[in-house]
Structure formats: structure tokens, C-alpha cells
């Protein structure tokens, strides 16, 4: 589907979307149409529960006096509350109706609204963003689609007065959406298609954006002492890999980078501690953290963000076999700390332990954020509404939380502490890889913290509950959500802004 920007005149064909503010207040285009149709809009609204609130909509078919197929009225809520997120919801809701209809052409009319906080072009850009986010689908393996399953919409026009400014404002958002879609696709692909090597082939395509991509094979990882990561992959016929992506966008190419670390378990059967079969298929998306890191790297490169960022993803397949690790095995991680592997299904932390250690030792980051589908316990605690946030630094935690709120990817912080850390003490090694059932998400984070230096701000995002959705939401169709791409992109952009603000001051002194 094509998304285009055009002048604010009424189109002659197809469907159109117009906004209505809370309290049944028609936007300028809505009232023009109302006049042209002898009050059809006012009458339809009066006969319905629709009163312009957010997430409300009302559809009018084949209005007389106009050659349009349908008019989709979408609630804008209160003008003063029309922030980026509200506008994305508007766009996403509009798109959900357009996709359900049969039109090939549709237009969203974006009018200036008194008291709205954002400039018109920015408003149009966010509406477009919400609309495009909703169009994602992973259907490449469906060879026989019913008419209902096919999208008939070919073109969406965003009609607004300064449409070239709107188009320009949409460009950076469009690049973030490309990254979201990449992460959604990587997560959706089954494990016979996406395994460490094929994943790394996809990542290598990003070199054309100016990213450097290094792929470490098992031999190289053994040299680096990454026995914890390697132990997870040793039962699989697929070779494990560590992928290091680098974006050097800062004027000082030597400046210490921000580090992102992702869990890339391309399939998690549980290993010898095998999972029950019921929803084992879900574990094809146990590499979503890695997919998010790759998505963020793509978007910051595409946007030429002026900062240095390093992304590290540990890619392994966790399988039971004659060569698989056994419960009770003790491995020596790259950090030198030994781990008693009591449950081979607690594998993500083993992968992250070595990846976290590697990035600190070799790249000296200013801060580290890791992202992983780490525990079922976080799903029990927070469900699909928040991802778990753990951090050794309050400032970092607050910044991540704020970035998440701004883009609609919400985080809830959970505690860390010595009493939890004691739960992973082992009789035989420096630590064991599982605590008891209590506080499972926290003990997993506690495990990771043992591989992070006290002096570096670090945060861990447990996305196990939010990375796959069972139902459509306004801007996220069901399936892979790519939760984290927008949040981390936003966090990094804000970090850059803060640096720019502080730089002139440094020069003064």
C-alpha cells in the first residue's frame, strides 16, 4: 500500500476519514461535508453513541450529494490532549476501518485544530505513523487468501494544507516504522527459517546503511571464553553466533557508546529440561530481544543519529540432544564466574551473561540496556500491559520509563536486592541459573546483574509478556509487536538531545 501526501481539497472517490472532537465538535472538513450532505453527519452522530471521544468511530455509507463510498468519522478526544500518541491512535483506528472495507482509495483529512499542542505538519505525520503501523501483517506463507484476508486498499492519501511539510515530518517516523516492521518480521518467522545463521544474513543487509556488522562464530566465542552462551547452543544442529553491530554517528568516533544487548534464542525447546508441548511453538519468538536490537540499530543508522551505539545479540538454538547440556552441568562464563545449570530452560540468562560481559570488556559503554523474553514469571506479574524494568541506576530507569510512556510501550520497574540475589547461590558453583519459583523475574535479573560492573548504568527489560499479542490493538496488529524498538529509539534520540544541550556549556568553561 502506498501512502501519499496531497492538498487539503476533498477527494472525488473512495473513502474519507474525518476527525470529530469530543462533544460532537466537527473539524472544518467534517463541517464542510455536513453542509454538502444537508446535515447527514450531524444527524448520524445524533442518532448514535458517537460523541468524538478517543477510540470512537462512526461510519456513514454512500452519502448522498458526494461521490465518496464512505465517510469514517473518528474521535479525536479533547483538542488540548492531542499529543503524538493520541494522533497515532486516531490514525491506527482510521486504518483499521479502511482495511476492513473494500475501497482501493482512501484519504485522511487533517485539519488545523484550535488549541491542539502540535503543529499541523507534525499532527499529520503522527496520524500517518499510526495508520501505517496498523497495516503490518505477516502473511507471506498464506498461499490461499480469502477476499476478506486480502487488503484491497492501494493508496492512502494524507490531505492537509502544507502537505510537503507533513511529508517531511513523516520521514523520520517512517524509518522507525520500517525498523518496527523488520523486528516484527524477524520475530514472526518460524525457527526453521530464522536460526542464528539466517538471522545474521538478514543483519548483514544493514551494512548498506553504514553499520558495521561483525559475526563471531563458535571458534571465536570459545577463544573469548563464552562457555555459558556456547553451552546453550551445544545441543543444536545450528551453530551459535554472536553478532556485533556498530553505529559510529558521533563526531568523536572514539566516544564511548550506548550498548544494547539482545537475547536471540531462535527456538527455545527448553533443552533437556524440555518444555510442555502445548505452546512450545511460541518459542520461535524467543529471539525478539535480538530482533528489537537489530531494529533499533537499523533505525538509528537510517536516521543518521549523531551518537555511537553498539548492539550485541547472542544467537543460539536451545535443543535437547545427545550433545545438549545436562541439568547439573557447571560452566565457566566469559567473566570467569562459574554457573551451575540446574534447569536448561533458564537459558536466556546464560546467553546474556556472556554478551553483557563481552560488551563491557571490549567496548566500554556509557550505559547498557538489555532486552529479552526472559521469564514466564514476568508474564504472570505484569501480563501484556507492561514490560518488566530492572536497573542499577534510577536516572536510567526513569529515562527509559519516560521514553516508553511517550511511545506507548510501558515499563514497570521491579526491585533488585541482596535478598533476591541470595536465591541464586549454588552449593557447587558461584551461582545457579535458577532460583526457586518465587520472584522468578527478579532472580533472573539478579543473575544478569552479576555480569554487569557496578560502575556502569545498566537496565534490563523483560519483554516476555508484551512481545507477542493475542489480539489487535489500535496501532499493533496481533502477533509480533516489536515492543522496545520505538522505546529504545526514543530513549537514544532523547539522550542525543540532552548531549547537544550540554555541549555548549562544556565549551564555555
**Residues with catalytic roles:** 275, 349
Return the range that interacts with Mn ion (CB under 5 A); candidates 144-152, 337-345, 436-444, 464-472: 337-345
Total residues at interface with Mn ion (CB under 5 A): 3
Nearest Cα neighbor of 63 from 52, 55, 54, 73 is 73
Q: What is the rounded CA–CA span in Å between residue 10 and residue 29?
A: 8
Residue with nearest beta carbon to Mn ion: 345
DSSP 367-412: EEEEEE---HHHHHHHTTT-EEEEES-HHHHHHHHHHHHHHT--EE
- Least distance (Å) from ligand BES to the CB of residue 374? 6
- Least distance (Å) from Zn ion to the CB of residue 325? 14
* Closer Cβ to Zn ion, 109 or 316, answer by number: 316
CA distances (Å), origin 202, targets 155, 182, 213, 220, 316? 29, 10, 11, 21, 15
By CB under 5 A, what part of segment 338-377 binds Zn ion? 348
Q: What is the rounded CA–CA span in Å between residue 400 and residue 396?
A: 6
Task: Please classify residue 491 by burial: count the beta carbons closer than 10 Å to its beta carbon, then call 0-12 exposed, 13-18 middle and 19+ buried.
Answer: buried
Buried-exposed string 269-281: b where 16+ CB fall within 10 A, e elsewhere: bbbbbebeeeeee
- Least distance (Å) from Mn ion to the CB of residue 375? 9
Torsion of CA 263, 267, 271, 277, to 10 degrees: 130
Total residues at interface with Zn ion (CB under 5 A): 4
- Least distance (Å) from Mn ion to the CB of residue 237? 18
Return the range that interacts with Mn ion (CB under 5 A); candidates 151-159, 341-349, 425-433, 485-493: 341-349
**345 is an interface residue for Mn ion by CB under 5 A:** yes
Q: DSSP class of residue 310?
A: E
* Closer Cβ to ligand BES, 69 or 269, answer by number: 269
- Least distance (Å) from Mn ion to the CB of residue 267? 10
Residue 89's binding partner among Mn ion, ligand BES, Zn ion, none (Cβ under 5 to 8 angstroms by kind) is: none
Residue 379's binding partner among Mn ion, Zn ion, ligand BES, none (Cβ under 5 to 8 angstroms by kind) is: ligand BES
- Interface map 231-270 toward Zn ion (x if CB under 5 A): ----------------------------------x--x--
* Closer Cβ to Zn ion, 286 or 462, answer by number: 286
- Interface map 261-290 toward Mn ion (x if CB under 5 A): -------x----------------------
- Least distance (Å) from ligand BES to the CB of residue 287? 10
Residue 188's binding partner among Mn ion, ligand BES, Zn ion, none (Cβ under 5 to 8 angstroms by kind) is: none
- Least distance (Å) from Zn ion to the CB of residue 265? 5
Q: What is the rounded CA–CA span in Å between residue 161 and residue 123?
A: 12
Residue 343's binding partner among Zn ion, Mn ion, ligand BES, none (Cβ under 5 to 8 angstroms by kind) is: ligand BES
Contact set with ligand BES (CB under 6 A): 268, 286, 343, 345-348, 373-377, 379, 434, 440, 464
HEC profile for 6-52? ECCCCCCCCEEEEEEECCCEECHHHHHHHHHCCCHHHHHHHCCCCCC
* Closer Cβ to Mn ion, 258 or 350, answer by number: 350
* Closer Cβ to Mn ion, 128 or 467, answer by number: 467
* Closer Cβ to ligand BES, 299 or 375, answer by number: 375
* Closer Cβ to Zn ion, 268 or 354, answer by number: 268
Residue with nearest beta carbon to Zn ion: 268
Residue with nearest beta carbon to ligand BES: 376
**462 is an interface residue for Mn ion by CB under 5 A:** no
Handedness of CA 233, 234, 235, 240 (dihedral sign): positive
Nearest Cα neighbor of 74 from 88, 61, 59 is 59
- Least distance (Å) from ligand BES to the CB of residue 369? 18
* Closer Cβ to Mn ion, 246 or 263, answer by number: 263
CA distances (Å), origin 387, targets 101, 349, 401? 34, 17, 10
Return the range that interacts with Mn ion (CB under 5 A); candidates 54-62, 241-249, 287-295, 347-355: 347-355
**317 is an interface residue for Mn ion by CB under 5 A:** no
**340 is an interface residue for Mn ion by CB under 5 A:** no
Parallel/antiparallel/unpaired status of strands 479-480 and 468-469: antiparallel
Q: Which residues face 72 on adjacent strands?
A: 17, 59
Name the region of 252 (left: φ>0; alpha: ψ -120 to 50; beta: rest): beta
Task: Please classify residue 155 by burial: count the beta carbons closer than 10 Å to its beta carbon, then call 0-12 exposed, 13-18 middle and 19+ buried.
Answer: middle
Q: Which residues face 258 on adjacent strands?
A: 309, 367
Q: DSSP class of residue 107?
A: E
- Least distance (Å) from ligand BES to the CB of residue 313? 15
* Closer Cβ to ligand BES, 90 or 468, answer by number: 468
Name the residue with cell 518467522: 189
Q: What is the rounded CA–CA span in Å between residue 365 and residue 260?
A: 9
**286 is an interface residue for Zn ion by CB under 5 A:** yes
Query: Contact residues for Mn ion (CB under 5 A)?
Result: 268, 345, 347
- Footprint of Zn ion on this chain (CB under 5 A)? 265, 268, 286, 348
Amino acid at each position: 500500500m502506498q501512502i501519499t501526501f496531497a492538498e487539503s481539497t476533498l477527494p472525488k472517490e473512495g473513502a474519507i476519514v474525518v476527525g470529530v472532537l469530543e462533544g460532537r465538535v466537527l473539524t472544518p472538513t467534517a463541517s464542510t461535508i455536513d453542509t454538502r450532505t444537508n446535515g447527514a453527519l450531524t444527524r448520524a452522530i445524533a442518532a448514535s453513541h458517537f460523541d468524538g471521544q478517543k477510540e470512537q468511530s462512526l461510519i456513514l455509507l454512500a452519502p448522498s450529494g458526494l461521490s465518496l463510498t464512505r465517510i469514517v468519522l473518528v474521535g479525536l478526544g479533547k483538542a488540548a490532549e492531542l499529543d503524538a500518541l493520541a494522533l497515532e491512535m486516531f490514525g491506527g483506528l482510521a486504518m483499521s476501518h479502511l482495511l476492513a472495507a473494500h475501497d482501493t482509495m482512501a484519504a485522511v483529512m487533517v485539519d488545523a485544530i484550535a488549541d491542539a499542542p502540535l503543529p499541523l505538519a507534525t499532527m499529520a505525520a503522527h496520524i500517518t505513523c499510526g495508520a501505517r503501523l496498523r497495516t503490518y501483517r505477516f502473511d507471506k506463507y498464506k498461499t490461499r487468501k480469502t477476499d476478506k484476508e486480502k487488503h484491497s486498499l492501494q493508496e492512502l492519501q494524507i490531505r492537509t494544507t502544507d502537505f510537503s511539510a507533513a511529508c517531511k515530518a513523516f520521514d523520520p517516523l517512517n524509518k522507525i516504522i520500517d525498523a518496527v516492521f523488520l523486528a516484527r518480521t524477524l520475530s514472526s518467522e518460524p525457527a526453521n527459517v530464522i536460526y542464528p545463521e539466517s538471522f545474521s544474513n538478514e543483519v548483514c543487509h544493514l551494512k548498506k546503511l553504514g553499520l558495521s556488522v561483525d559475526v563471531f562464530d563458535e571458534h571465536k566465542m570459545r577463544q573469548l571464553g563464552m562457555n555459558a552462551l556456547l553451552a546453550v547452543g551445544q545441543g543444536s544442529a545450528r551453530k551459535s553466533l554472536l553478532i556485533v553491530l556498530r553505529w559510529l554517528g558521533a563526531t568523536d568516533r572514539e566516544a564511548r557508546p550506548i550498548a544494547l544487548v539482545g537475547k536471540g534464542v531462535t527456538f527455545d525447546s527448553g533443552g533437556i529440561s524440555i518444555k510442555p508441548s502445548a505452546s512450545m511453538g511460541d518459542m520461535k519468538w524467543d529471539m525478539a530481544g535480538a530482533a528489537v536490537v537489530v531494529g533499533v540499530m537499523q533505525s538509528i543508522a537510517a536516521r543518521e543519529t549523531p551518537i555511537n551505539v553498539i548492539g550485541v545479540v547472542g544467537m543460539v538454538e536451545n535443543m535437547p540432544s545427545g550433545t545438549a547440556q545436562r541439568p547439573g552441568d557447571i560452566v565457566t562464563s566469559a567473566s570467569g564466574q562459574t554457573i551451575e545449570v540446574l534447569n536448561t530452560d533458564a537459558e536466556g540468562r546464560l546467553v546474556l551473561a556472556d554478551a553483557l560481559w563481552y560488551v563491557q570488556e571490549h567496548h566500554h559503554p556509557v550505559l547498557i540496556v538489555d532486552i529479552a523474553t526472559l521469564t514466564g514469571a514476568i508474564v504472570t506479574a505484569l501480563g501484556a500491559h507492561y514490560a518488566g524494568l530492572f536497573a542499577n541506576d534510577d536516572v536510567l530507569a526513569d529515562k527509559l520509563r519516560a521514553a516508553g510512556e511517550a511511545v506507548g510501550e510501558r515499563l514497570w520497574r521491579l526491585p533488585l536486592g541482596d535478598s533476591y540475589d541470595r536465591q541464586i547461590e549454588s552449593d557447587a558453583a558461584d551461582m545457579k541459573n535458577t532460583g526457586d519459583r518465587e520472584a522468578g523475574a527478579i532472580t533472573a535479573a539478579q543473575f544478569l546483574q552479576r555480569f554487569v560492573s557496578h560502575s556502569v548504568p545498566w537496565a534490563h527489560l523483560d519483554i516476555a509478556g508484551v512481545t507477542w499479542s493475542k489480539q489487535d490493538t489500535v496501532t499493533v496488529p496481533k502477533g509480533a509487536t516489536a515492543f522496545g524498538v520505538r522505546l529504545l529509539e526514543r530513549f537514544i534520540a532523547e539522550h542525543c538531545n540532552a548531549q547537544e544541550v550540554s555541549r555548549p556549556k562544556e565549551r564555555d568553561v
